[in-house]
Amino acid sequence: MANRIDIIDKTISKLPFVKVLNTLEQDEFSIKGNVEIDFEKLNKPLSFSFEISEIYPFRHYDSESIKFKNVDLIKYGHVMGDGSICIHTSHNINLKKKLTIDFHSLKNWILKYYISNEDDDNYEHIICNETSFKGCHYSYMFTDVEHTFSKDDFGEVSLFQLENGIYKKEGITNYIIQKFDLKNKTQIECNWSEIYNRSLRTHTGVFYFCENPPAVHGRFAFQNWENLDGYLSEDFINHLQRFEKQNLKKFRGKAFPLFLGYKTIGNDIHWQVIILEIGDFPIKRTPKREGRRKTGDFKYSIKSGKIIWGITNNSSYKYFFGRGAFSKSLTEKKILIIGVGALGSMVAKTLTRCGCKNINVADYDIKKPENICRSEYLFNLGVNDKSEEMVRILTAISPFVEAKVANNDYFQTIIKMLYDKKGIKEQFIRDLNKNDLVIDCTTDDDLMYILDSLDLDCDSINLSITNHSKELVCGFNNNIYSFVKNQFDNVLDNDTKDLYNPTGCWDPTFKASYNDISLLVQMALRHINIVYSDGIRPNNFVIKQDDKFPSNLIIEEY
């Protein structure tokens, strides 16, 4: 069998645009060499060193196990700090083929970023080596604000601490940025949900908007404070100095974040955080002089020292839900979920994870340990009103959902007593129409009848499942009561004998597992989302098992 190094040599030598400059060398872990790349569109050849690691052609974590380097190319796109090129390539397990692919990828990089000097539409974070401070990492999440920062704006930020955790085997303290307090006293709230905005701030930091990234070539974050000289205004440096002085006694040695803001793509801004130590700010003072005489005042400026970069993440709605969300026509709706048992809790949670911004929940019931196995409730929250716990969970998932508890008694007693009383009925209709969508997951026939008879202008959905989770029945806007009742009473074979009786016979419930129910709920919500995003007429539907293959589910619209 031919030797690996020979195969590599032969394969790349055959490529018309590659010239192997010297004999390949092999050490314990890799094979190294130098190549010159030349093709028609290049004015002069480019040379790269390359290194192929032992695991090649497989990938190493999530990076390629072949590296091409040229430190002179650092100012071009997709080049790392050490001069290595980020090539976009594809999987292949055959050494020869993979080499061919990867060298072509290098050529593509040259075409795209060296010759055409393309800018990507995607923003790439500046590359900074995030390190811990005194054995602890500091992480901050920020979101959009309704404000346009100008160059040299600075001020304080209010921070709210989230949970502590572990990050790369060290401790991590997590925060969100709640508010920016501009020096001229304008307070800028971040677009989090109310609960995150209104919680009392726990920590403070400072921010400085420098407009351009604090980085070499716009990509490699400064490593020394000296690089920031000229970036930060004198005003700001004075402010920092005063701040340190004021807090020195109480907080000496503590970490203190400085957020540097800059524009990325469009109107987006990014905040990159530097961790300062109170008592060790990189500020030097030189006496001010008039002629040769000291005035007694000082001029403050940046002094040399290593920058400790902390962790920041853009957690704005766009990024938070960037990987997938429901259609805007659903997420922007004000949604009321009545009944947050097994079905309702899954609906609430899914809507939240899919970007819905306004969810009220109502349920008179208490969450107990036996509810947890097939709902979205959590053991560690103990016994709670279902609605209260659900709001906590939804809020914990998304910082963009306004989740509130609706009047729990409203749907159990009040509306049932008074729904057909003249004058009061109209009030109910007005109240409910304040929502854009009412989802009834109570499986309460009385309530279903009442909601249907109120003939609401807002959309309404009724969800229920038959025993053993065989079918899911969804009433969607029209003729809900008659449709759902008829499905349960006459059409579907709902087994009402084999129910689960937890305690005595007064509280029987259907039998089904989390897996059974959530499968149906997810499918129903997917369909509902499609109806909204395509703007098609909502029809009642049933999700049922295929007769031949019960694991196949089908949606039958009515």
* Residues of the shown chain interacting with other proteins in the complex, contacts defined by CB under 8 A: 422, 477-479, 482-483, 485-487, 490-491, 537, 539-540, 556-558
State in angstroms the smallest separation of the CB of 488 from other proteins: 11
**Cβ proximity to other proteins, 194 vs 420, nearer residue:** 420
Q: How far apart are CA 298 and CA 294, in angstroms?
A: 9
Query: What are the residue ranges of helices labelled H in 411-473?
Result: 415-418, 424-433, 445-453
**Cβ proximity to other proteins, 40 vs 547, nearer residue:** 547
Q: Which residues pair with 215 in a beta bridge?
A: 221
**Cβ proximity to other proteins, 110 vs 531, nearer residue:** 531
Cα 2 to Cα 10, 27, 55, 451, 510: the distances in Å are 11, 18, 18, 78, 67
State in angstroms the smallest separation of the CB of 472 from other proteins: 16
Q: How far apart are CA 370 and CA 500, in angstroms?
A: 12
State in angstroms the smallest separation of the CB of 430 from other proteins: 17
Q: How far apart are CA 502 and CA 446, in angstroms?
A: 23
CA atoms within 13 A on the CB side of 369: 1
State in angstroms the smallest separation of the CB of 467 from other proteins: 18
C-alpha 58, offset from chain centre = 29
**Cβ proximity to other proteins, 100 vs 478, nearer residue:** 478
State in angstroms the smallest separation of the CB of 558 from other proteins: 6
**What spatial distance separates the first Cα and last Cα of the chain, rounded to whole Å?**
67
**Cβ proximity to other proteins, 353 vs 485, nearer residue:** 485
**Cβ proximity to other proteins, 40 vs 455, nearer residue:** 455
**Cβ proximity to other proteins, 315 vs 466, nearer residue:** 466
State in angstroms the smallest separation of the CB of 213 from other proteins: 49
Sign of CA dihedral 411, 413, 418, 419: positive
Q: Give the containing element (helix H, strand E) for 239.
A: helix 234-251
Amino acid symbol at 38 = D
Q: Do 35 and 47 meet the contact criterion of CB atoms below 8 Å apart?
A: yes
**Cβ proximity to other proteins, 291 vs 423, nearer residue:** 423
Q: How many CB atoms lie within 10 A of CB 478?
A: 14
State in angstroms the smallest separation of the CB of 270 from other proteins: 44
Q: Which of 73, 78, 27, 75 is nearest to 51 (CA)?
A: 27
**Judging by beta carbons within 10 Å of its beta carbon (0-12, 13-18, 19+), is residue 178 exposed, middle or buried?**
buried
State in angstroms the smallest separation of the CB of 544 from other proteins: 11
**Cβ proximity to other proteins, 319 vs 558, nearer residue:** 558
Determine how β-strand 46-53 pairs with β-strand 553-557. unpaired
Cα 40 to Cα 16, 110, 111, 360: the distances in Å are 11, 12, 11, 64
State in angstroms the smallest separation of the CB of 422 from other proteins: 7
Q: How many CB atoms lie within 10 A of CB 202?
A: 12
State in angstroms the smallest separation of the CB of 473 from other proteins: 11
**Cβ proximity to other proteins, 30 vs 477, nearer residue:** 477
Instruction: With H, G, I as helix, E, B as strand and everything else as coil, classify residue 502.
Output: coil
**Cβ proximity to other proteins, 273 vs 480, nearer residue:** 480
State in angstroms the smallest separation of the CB of 524 from other proteins: 18
